[in-house]
Amino acid sequence: MEKIDLKLGTIREPLPDFILKKLAHAFDNANNYPMDYERLAGKLARFHGIGKDRILLLNGTDGSIDLITKVLARKVYYYEPTYYEFWAAPKRNNIEYQALKPLRNDEYSLETRAFEKGSVLFLCNPNNPFGEIPVEQILEFASKSEGYVAVDEAYIEFSGESPLEMLEKHPNLLLMRSFSKTYALAGIRAGYTIAAPELLKKLGEHKLFFDVSSPSVEAALAVLDHHDYFKERIAKLVACKRRFDDFLRERGFNVIPSHINNTIIHFKSEEEAGRFVRYLDGNGVIVNQGDGISTVGLNKTWLRLACGTEEQMKKVTEIVSRYNHG
């Protein structure tokens, strides 16, 4: 039986030949140390309409989270459920952290509050696994807080609005981007942080000099030329996910609205969730019960699965249609 692994929210559709041909040259200069950081930073700056001094290249969003934690935080705050690295980075670096609990009847709704000097508030927008934060509220967090507000925007092309245009008015605000989701390059490990130049200079003094590889830089440069293609691909993926969510709702599942490449189901009990997970596993579909791989804050009454390819989701739909939901 061929397994369908839907644990991680990566894009499953293979990259097209016209992009693969470009990526084939990513290793041409692999024998040299990375030399194109400035070129990639410049291309990203033009793409976003900002100065190059507002871009700091890092090893994926995880690299941004870890560096911001180590350099800026005496204490980390985050609202869960959310991306696991908000919890893992301070834990790994022996920095105090506190999880805030915004859930009310499965609704992800944050109350704006001020955070003290020396703190970092991590937000994920759209949130992983579910939830979305209005840009006005992100700016309110930044305005009220004496600490830093760092926003993971790995899925921003899927949904939501970025406060990018307001960065100059909020020098304590940092935006973290990745090539993993929008550009389907999760294995390349390329990302960047956008913030005030003086803040990025402070972070840059503590980063590894060559933490993004030459092939990663070349791959990032190649896919940026095809942003419209990836935007169209994301639209198709979102439509596929919505069809699957609607199918599950019609079958009586409690599907929680999600704005990323994840379907979220909340069950009445751990036993009920476990029964469905075991059924899927027995039919070759691998999903997350509880936090699984990439989230923190979900108990085992929650189930999370990514949207795979059209063919994979067709098979998953057929499998679920045979399940006795009770």
Read off the pLDDT of residues 29-45 as tens digits, 9 standing for 90 and up. Answer: 788 888 889 999 999 99
Instruction: Yes or no: say if 74 and 96 are a contact pair by the CB < 8 Å rule.
Output: yes
Query: With DSSP H G I counted as helix, E B as strand and the rest as coil, what are the percentages for the chain, rounded to 5?
Result: 40, 20, 40
Handedness of CA 19, 24, 30, 32 (dihedral sign): negative
- Shared domain for 152 and 277, answered yes or no, is no
With respect to residue 305, please indicate whether it lies within any of the assigned structural domains.
yes
Going through the chain in order, the beta strands assigned E by DSSP cover: 4-5, 55-58, 75-79, 82-83, 96-100, 103-104, 107-108, 119-124, 148-152, 173-178, 191-194, 255-256, 262-266, 285-286, 288-289, 295-296, 302-306
- Shared domain for 209 and 262, answered yes or no, is no
- Shared domain for 167 and 195, answered yes or no, is yes
Q: Looking at residue 106, what is its pLDDT?
A: 82
When comparing pLDDT for 292 and 48, which is higher?
48
- Shared domain for 73 and 162, answered yes or no, is yes
Q: Looking at residue 99, what is its pLDDT?
A: 96
Q: Of 96, 99, 97, which Cα lies nearest the Cα of 79?
A: 99
Q: How distant, in Å, are the alpha carbons of 47, 132, 160, 273, 307 from that of 156?
A: 15, 10, 6, 30, 17
Q: Of 197, 168, 243, 220, which Cα lies nearest the Cα of 58?
A: 220
With respect to residue 32, please indicate whether it lies within any of the assigned structural domains.
yes
With respect to residue 326, please indicate whether it lies within any of the assigned structural domains.
no
Structure tokens belonging to residue 261: 């490449």
Say which DSSP state 300 is in.
T
pLDDT at 184 over 90: no
With respect to residue 235, please indicate whether it lies within any of the assigned structural domains.
yes
Q: Looking at residue 187, what is its pLDDT?
A: 85
With respect to residue 247, please indicate whether it lies within any of the assigned structural domains.
yes
Q: Residue 256 belongs to a domain with what CATH number?
A: 3.90.1150.10
Q: Residue 78 belongs to a domain with what CATH number?
A: 3.40.640.10
Handedness of CA 250, 254, 257, 258 (dihedral sign): negative
pLDDT at 74 over 70: yes
- For the chain, what is the mean pLDDT? 93
| Torsions phi, psi for 96 (to 5 deg) | -60, 145
Q: What is the count of structural domains for the chain?
A: 2
| Mean pLDDT across 99-110 | 86
Cα 167 to Cα 171: distance, rounded to the nearest angstrom: 7
- Shared domain for 8 and 32, answered yes or no, is no
Among candidate residues 182, 197, 226, the one where a domain is terminated: 226
**Which alpha helices (DSSP H) does 93-151 contain, by range?**
135-144
Contacts 24+ apart (CB under 8 A), 107-112: 108/79, 108/81, 108/132, 110/79, 110/137, 112/137, 112/140, 112/141, 112/144
Among candidate residues 191, 226, 261, the one where a domain is terminated: 226
- Structure confidence by residue, pLDDT tens digits, 270-290: 999 999 999 999 999 999 999
| Mean pLDDT across 86-115 | 92
- Shared domain for 164 and 50, answered yes or no, is yes
Cα 223 to Cα 271: distance, rounded to the nearest angstrom: 44
Cα 200 to Cα 54: distance, rounded to the nearest angstrom: 7
- Shared domain for 170 and 246, answered yes or no, is no
With respect to residue 113, please indicate whether it lies within any of the assigned structural domains.
yes
Torsion-angle region of residue 292: left (phi > 0), alpha (psi -120 to 50) or beta?
left
Residues near 24 by beta carbon (within 8 Å), at least 6 away in sequence: none
- Domain extent, residue 252, equals 4-13+228-321
Q: What amino acid is encoded at 242 in this protein?
A: R
- Shared domain for 99 and 145, answered yes or no, is yes
Among candidate residues 209, 226, 243, the one where a domain is terminated: 226
Give the confidence band of 1 by pLDDT, cuts at 50, 70, 90: low
Q: What amino acid is encoded at 176 in this protein?
A: M
With respect to residue 82, please indicate whether it lies within any of the assigned structural domains.
yes
- Shared domain for 308 and 178, answered yes or no, is no
- Shared domain for 165 and 217, answered yes or no, is yes
- Shared domain for 9 and 21, answered yes or no, is no
pLDDT at 79 over 70: yes
pLDDT at 326 over 80: no
Structure tokens belonging to residue 16: 């097209």
pLDDT at 114 over 80: yes
- Shared domain for 244 and 164, answered yes or no, is no
- Structure confidence by residue, pLDDT tens digits, 231-264: 999 999 999 999 999 999 999 999 999 999 999 9
